[in-house]
Structure 1
Amino acid sequence: MEIGLSLIYAIAFTLIHLFSKSMAFIKDTPRSRFLSIAGGIAVSYVFMHLLPDLNKHQDILEKFGDSGVFRLLENHVYLIALLGLTIFYGLEKMVKNSRNEMNQDKSNPGVFWIHISSFFLYNALIGYLLIREEFNGPWGMFFYFLALAVHFITNDHSLRKNHKVVYDRYGRWLLAIAILFGWAVGLFVELEEIYISLLTALLAGGVILNVLKEELPEERKSSFLAFFLGIVCYSALLMLA
């Protein structure tokens, strides 16, 4: 039952990447209210689920803390989340600097492939956790899907803006494949809890950065009301589930 449901959600994730460009109602300036609502949902998911979940992963790190390199990490699961945020911030700066150096509205091909490779791993991790994360039943998996589905729409919008035609030609296909690849790996490979904890922490940091970089810039004229509505509605759903 859960495997079949996770496959349905994995396929839905891939369809979002393939067809999000057809969402004509999404615009950047002034920012589409849908994107602001999506940002609010993703932020709510991070603070209501991912970050509290890191406490559980902290306990796992402490359990492995007496062995090898994990001794250095036993009290620092949030440091791993910070590392995830830093990595994606560095990638965004690299893309922006590339566009400025070329005096174009897109980055150079080398930067594109580095950027897409990072998001391929990002998506593969999300696909893996879709089948290996311990959800609180079908509703827990649904809320995971909902938060990351709208997050993917926002990411696609940003990547398409940064890389233009090359993203639609190659990027969206690679990110769609990444979800199914991560899901397939999760179907046959079960990583130890310690590695799941580290990967989840990295994901949390990446989600935080990718959401806030889209909502905070003043020139995008984001709708605070829509952002707040996304936070309130999704938080209420999580609390009632």
Structure 2
Amino acid sequence: MSDYVSLVFALGFVLIHLTSKYMKFLDAVPRSRFLSAAGGVAVAYVFMHLLPELNHYQQKMGEITEEGFALEHQAYLIAMTGLAVFYGLERMVKVSKKNGDSNHASPGVFWIHMFSFFVYNAIIGYLLVRGYDRTLWSLFFYFIALTVHFLTNDHSLRQSHSKLYDRWGRWLLASGVLLGWTVGAMTAVHELVVSSLFAFLAGGVILNVLKEELPEERESSFPAFALGLLGYTLLLFLSSAF
């Protein structure tokens, strides 16, 4: 049953990538209140769900590697690596835009950026099937948080790459989710690999969430951000009560 539910959610992610270009309200200036609320949801997801799960995976990695070579905080080191990788990608895009003759990055930078997010999305799709907690509620909140995260990411990637993203990028990212789900449905990799994938994803999500809400030029709406944060946190607490 959970595999069918996870497939529905994977297809939902695909639909978000393919239709976000038609959501014109996301382009509002100053920043759309929806995007600020989405940022609040994503931040709540990071602190209330992602970091506790990262701690779980750290414990699992410690158990698996306790008789061999092991670092004390390997999951957190991998998460930090994920954050650093995606920060480096953002800097690369900004430098390319600054040095170029247009408002978007060069085609070469575009393909590097898209490949990185293809892998990012494939991990998300894989964890839909092979994640730690695959109860219906957990999958539902995973879907809600990453749906708004994808909307925010799509908006940012479209601003960075313009028509190239709409022509190629959104299709590549959508296929990444499906590829990850298919691999997860067909095979199970070692638990140490799953833990490493989750940790890397956690670092990427943290960076991508914070870079969208913290810069001053975003002109974010704090009331909308707070509403998204408090609303999603409340839903998590309510779900744990049942």
Alignment of 1:1-241 (within 5 A): 1-27=1-27, 29-66=29-66, 71-135=69-133, 137-241=135-239
Of 173-182 and 75-84, more deviation after overlay is shown by 75-84
CA distance in 1, matches of 2:216, 2:101: 22
CA contact (8 A) 1:127 1:183 kept: yes
Aligned sequence identity (%) = 58
**1:54 Cα deviation from its structure 2 partner:** 1.4
Taking a change above 3 Å as real, the CA distance of residues 216 and 28 of structure 1, as seen in their structure-2 partners, is farther
Distance 2:102 2:70 in 1: 43
Decide whether the 8 Å contact of 1:38 with 1:154 is kept in 2.
Answer: yes
Cα displacement string for residues 51-101 of structure 1 (whole angstroms, at most 9, x for unaligned residues): 011121111111233465xx2434232121111111000000000000111
Distance 2:103 2:195 in 1: 38
Write the distance in 1 (CA, Å) between the matches of 2:175 and 2:72. Answer: 34
TM-score normalised by the chain length of structure 1:
0.96
The answer (yes or no) to whether the contact 1:124–1:178 under 8 Å persists in 2 is yes
| Contact kept in structure 2, 1:119 and 1:175, CA below 8 Å | yes
Contact 1:28–1:220, Cα closer than 8 Å, also in 2: no
Instruction: Kindly state the Cα deviation for residue 136 of structure 1 after the two structures are TM-superposed.
Output: 5.4
- Tell me the SS of whatever aligns to 1:35: helix
Return closer, same or farther for 1:121/1:221 CA change in 2, 3 Å cut-off. same
> Counterpart of 1:191 in 2: which secondary structure?
coil
Amino acid at match of 1:64: I
Tell me how many residue pairs correspond in the alignment.
Answer: 239
Show structure 1 runs of 5+ residues with no match: none
Q: Which runs of 4+ in 1 moved over 6 A?
A: none
Shift in alpha-carbon separation, 1:28–1:207, aligned structure 2, 3 A: farther
C-alpha separation in 2, matches of 1:137 and 1:125: 19
Q: Distance in 1 between matches of 2:169 and 2:46?
A: 25
SS in 2 for 1:183: helix
Can you give the 5+ residue segments of structure 2 that lack an aligned partner in the other structure? none
* Secondary structure in 2 matching 1:234: helix
- Provide the C-alpha distance between the structure 1 equivalents of 2:199 and 2:64, rounded to a whole number of angstroms: 16
Aligned-partner residue type, residue 89 of structure 1: Y
Give CA deviations for 1:7-29 in whole Å, capped at 9, x if unaligned.
11111100100000100111263
- Cα distance change, pair 101–28 in 1 and its aligned pair in 2 (3 A): farther
The answer as to whether partners of 2:62 and 2:70 remain within 8 angstroms in 1 is no
Distance 1:136 1:116 in 2: 28
Contact 2:6/2:128 (8 A) holds in 1: yes
**What is the aligned-residue RMSD (CA, Å)?**
1.2
